[in-house]
Chains A and B, each alone.
Chain A
Amino acid sequence: MSSATSTRERPGTVPPPAAPQSAPKRRMLARKGLAPALLLVPAAAILIVVIGWPLVQLVIVSFQQYGRAQVFGQPAPFIGFGNYVRVLGDPQFWQVLVRSFLFCIVNVVVTMSLGTLIALLMTRLNKFFRTLISVGLLLAWAMPALTAVIVWGWLFDTQFGVVNYVLTQVTGINFIGHSWLINPISFFAVAAIIIVWQSVPFVAFTIYAGLTQVPDEVLEAAQLDGAGAVQRFRLVIFPYLKSIFVVVTILQIIWDLRVFTQVFALQGIGGIREQTSTLGVYIYQTSLGTGDYGAGGAIAVIMVIIMMAISIFYVRQVIKEEEL
């Protein structure tokens, strides 16, 4: 049993040591000191100009009093941490923050569980059903986010939506005319359905790809030793795929925390802004909606910091897996 484990490479473990290279080869790689710099210049220039510079501007604005008047040319006075104090003292900001995190957690948990279950299911299906499910998932995955929101908005339409029709037929209760987007809870339920519908395929495919690399000898041995399905998953499959689970989960957290399109477009179809905004949408509204660019900048800086903090885990994991 142990020999079976050692003969196959565990996915995501440290790669085998590189083949020893001779000294002249390395020297050849290291020569030409100017070439790499020249090759990097275009990409680096674009990143510095289009991401670096606005980022600096963002930080500067967050320390300024910057409203509509400043947009029209008034000088913007520096007010230190004034914007931050104002934002952090605003109960609405905390509501938005808590709402964003709760929404994110629900999405991530549902997406990861469904994705894992579907991946496990795919390993048990025959070729026909596996292809069928792959095609379905691919279609959902490929839909542009905005198109998806609008289509789902139509499915959940108050008057002529097919969801209300089917629910009326199935439950016998009259759902025609029921608005799903007015109530914040059901608004987020709809948003979550859209997000999960589009995120599950990535999770399912990735975990399925990982599952195919779990050596079958080990699973078979575990089964012979009497391990049930749950035990096999917990004790054999999960340890093998741990690094995949970690990276996918972190990516999902990052993607779901910065969700914008789904919430923004659903609000446009019919939701109450004040009760349904998440971080990204809140920044948009504070800055472009109310014209309070200072506060919007402060919130944006806070969001960037949160994202950076989370992505440290991602970067660390990637570095661990891959030789830079």
Chain B
Amino acid sequence: MSTPTRTQPDSPTQPHETSVESKALTSAVSAMIVPPSARNGVRRYQVSGPRVKRRVTNIIFSAVAAVIFLCSVFPVYWMINTSLQPNNEIRTPVPNFFPKDFTLGNYVTVLFEPSRSPFLPALMNSLAVTLLTVVIALVFAFLASLAVTRFRFKGRKAFILSILIIQMIPAEAMIVSTYRVLDSWSLLNTIAGLTLVYVATVLPFTIWTLRGFVNGVPVELEEAAMIDGLSRTGAFWKITFPLLAPGLVATGVFGFIQAWNEFVLALVVMSRPASQTLPVWLRTFQQANGTTDWAAIMAGSTLMAIPVVVFFLIVQGRMTSGLMSGAVKG
């Protein structure tokens, strides 16, 4: 009751105005890229010295950028490059920087030779756990974010604070007690057990982010609809919910990535071979094949990375700001 709901100036689809190519970019960046001499008529007639120097600096900067690009991309490239060669070709004194004997054999091995690697069951487990996690977490977090944004009640701030704090409890410290609690409920090695754990892991972040998105939709919109005769619930579903869709998608995808990549808890909770998720499978596969079959390991790594990379590229801009929570609010 103390603080009335603030209507944020931001547009609903972009509550945090910090996407990489934000509006402010053009002006602010041009100030830094374009040297004053190019814009400032007075300065243009300087001696040529600084100009040459500037061009040299620009070339150096571009070169550094190219190097950074290579450093960032090379491991990913090398993973794919290795995965497309037969195993004997990658065990040569001089590595092939391009796939010499191009083959998809490693992918066939990983996908269709279950005796060597139960990839498909692991994929199924991962998909089931991840999708369930995303759906449940989104629904629960959505309800909670409504409660903390559209209502004023006692304990509201306490709830938000505890969300922030819970987010910081390291899963690494909790593995054993999580294991024992799940064990006592006979939920070890089950989809339900791991899903339960993941939902709890993803929830704090999801609530926090959705809260930002809901805050971005002015209550006045709903109220206008209510004056026009809609019920409160109706106004919410017809007016606010559609505006939240992009936020829900982005948050859901981020939850997907988190659950898909999670390793520590899966390692402890899903230890049985039949119930492994992809990260646990990849590690077992790597340990079993160790130094003998790097090509197949790289094929497995590629298969595991593809969905994440694709999704990540989709939501990246929105999530940079979401992760930062309050810090970069425009």
Interface residues, chain A, CB within 8 Å of chain B?
Answer: 9, 11-12, 15, 18-19, 21, 25-26, 28-30, 32-33, 35-37, 39-40, 42-44, 46-47, 49-51, 53-55, 57-58, 61, 118, 121-126, 129-130, 132-148, 150-155, 157-160, 162, 165, 176, 197, 201-202, 205-206, 208-216, 219-220, 223-224, 243-244, 246-248, 251, 254, 258, 260-261, 264-265, 268-269, 279-281, 283-284, 287-288, 293, 296-297, 300-301, 303-304, 307-308, 310-311, 314-315, 317-324
- Given A43-B140, A293-B176, verify A125-B33 contact (CB < 8 Å): yes
- A50 and B283 contact, CB distance less than 8 A: no
Extra A-B contacts (20), CB below 8 Å, given A150-B301, A247-B325, A281-B172:
A28-B223, A29-B152, A42-B144, A47-B200, A49-B196, A50-B178, A121-B61, A138-B316, A144-B279, A146-B261, A154-B294, A157-B291, A197-B75, A210-B18, A261-B264, A280-B172, A296-B176, A297-B177, A303-B170, A321-B329
Closest to A61 in B: B177
Does residue B327 face the partner (Cβ distance < 8 Å to A)? Answer: yes
Known: A50-B200, A126-B33. A146 touches B173 (CB 8 A): no
On whether the beta carbons of A11 and B328 are closer than 8 Å, the reply is yes
Instruction: Give the CA-CA distance A211 to B33 in the complex, in Å.
Output: 12
Give the interface residue-count category, chain B: 35 or more
- Contact residues in A for B172 (Cβ distance below 8 Å): 258, 260, 279-281, 283-284, 303
Pick the 3 closest A-B CB pairs, nearest first: A216-B31, A280-B172, A322-B326
Q: Across the interface, name the chain B residue whose C-beta is closest to A9.
A: B330
Q: Are A322 and B325 in contact (CB under 8 A)?
A: yes
Contacts of B297 in A (CB 8 A): 150, 154
Chief secondary structure at chain B's binding surface: helix
Within 8 Å of chain A (Cβ to Cβ): is B239? no
> Once the chains bind, are B176 and A288 in contact (CB under 8 Å)?
yes
Q: Kindly provide the distance from the CB of B153 to the nearest chain A CB, expressed in whole angstroms.
A: 5
The yes or no answer to B245 lying at the interface (CB within 8 A) is no
Which residue of B78, B79, B283, B291 is within 8 Å of A159 (Cβ)? B291
How far apart are the CA atoms of A29 and B6 in the complex, in Å? 12
Contacts of A121 in B (CB 8 A): 61, 64-65, 68
Q: Judge whether A40 and B62 touch: CB under 8 Å.
A: no
Q: Are B283 and A29 in contact (CB under 8 A)?
A: no
A-B contact pairs, 21 of them (CB 8 A): A25-B219, A43-B140, A50-B199, A57-B181, A118-B68, A125-B61, A126-B33, A129-B66, A137-B68, A140-B76, A146-B304, A157-B294, A197-B75, A210-B18, A213-B28, A244-B328, A258-B170, A265-B263, A280-B170, A293-B176, A310-B168
Q: Among B6, B29, B66, B168, point to the contact of A18 (Cβ < 8 A).
A: B6
A142-B313 CB under 8 A given contacts A11-B329, A39-B147, A247-B324: yes
Instruction: Find residues 308-325 in chain B having any chain A CB closer than 8 Å to their own CB.
Output: 308-309, 312-313, 316, 320-321, 323-325
Minimum distance in angstroms from B246 CB to a CB of chain A: 18
Cβ of B3 and Cβ of A220 under 8 Å apart?
no
CA distance A42 to B135 in the complex (A): 13
Q: Which of B3, B30, B329 has the most CB of A within 10 A?
A: B329
B244 at the interface (CB under 8 A from A): no
- Pick from B70, B139, B169, B327: contact of A51, CB below 8 A: B169
Is the pair A58, B177 in contact by a Cβ cutoff of 8 Å?
yes
Tell me whether B298 is interfacial, beta carbon within 8 Å: yes
B102 on the interface (CB 8 Å rule)? no
Q: Which residues of A contact B148 (CB under 8 A)?
A: 36, 40
Q: Which of B65, B175, B207, B304 contacts A125 (CB 8 A)?
A: B65
How far apart are A179's CB and chain B's nearest CB, in angstroms? 11
Residue of B1, B29, B30, B207 ringed by the most chain A CB atoms within 10 A: B29
Name the CB-closest residue of B to A200.
B72
Name the one of B1, B78, B325 contacting A318, with C-beta atoms under 8 angstroms.
B325
User: B71-107 vs A: 1/0 string, CB under 8 Å?
Assistant: 1110110110010000000111111000000000000
A160 to B312, CA, bound (A): 31
Residues B181 and A40 in contact, CB atoms below 8 Å apart: no
Against A, the Cβ 8 Å flags (1 = close, 0 = not) of B135-174 are 0000111011011101111001101110011101111111
User: CA separation between A186 and B312, bound complex, in Å?
Assistant: 31
Contact yes or no, B174 A58, CB < 8 A: yes
Instruction: Give Cα distance in the complex from A58 to B176, angstroms.
Output: 8
Chain B residue with Cβ nearest A48: B200
B252 to chain A, nearest CB (A): 15
Cβ–Cβ < 8 Å partners of A160 in chain B: 90-92, 95, 294
The answer to whether the Cβ of B69 comes within 8 Å of any Cβ in the partner chain is yes
| B5 and A32 contacting across the interface, CB-CB below 8 Å | no
B163 shortest CB reach to chain A, Å: 8
B305 at interface, CB cutoff 8 A:
yes
Are A147 and B20 CB-contacts (below 8 A) given A18-B4, A135-B69? no
Q: How far is the CB of B188 from chain A (nearest CB, A)?
A: 13
CB distance from B159 to the nearest CB of A (A): 7
Per-residue CB contact flags for chain B residues 178-189 toward chain A (1 = under 8 Å, else 0) read 111100000000
Asked if residues A40 and B66 are in contact (CB atoms below 8 Å), the reply is no
B279 lies within 8 A of A321 (CB): no
Residues A40 and B147 in contact, CB atoms below 8 Å apart: yes
Which residues of chain B come closer than 8 Å to A57, judged between CB atoms?
A: 177, 180-181
Minimum C-beta distance from A2 to chain B (A): 18
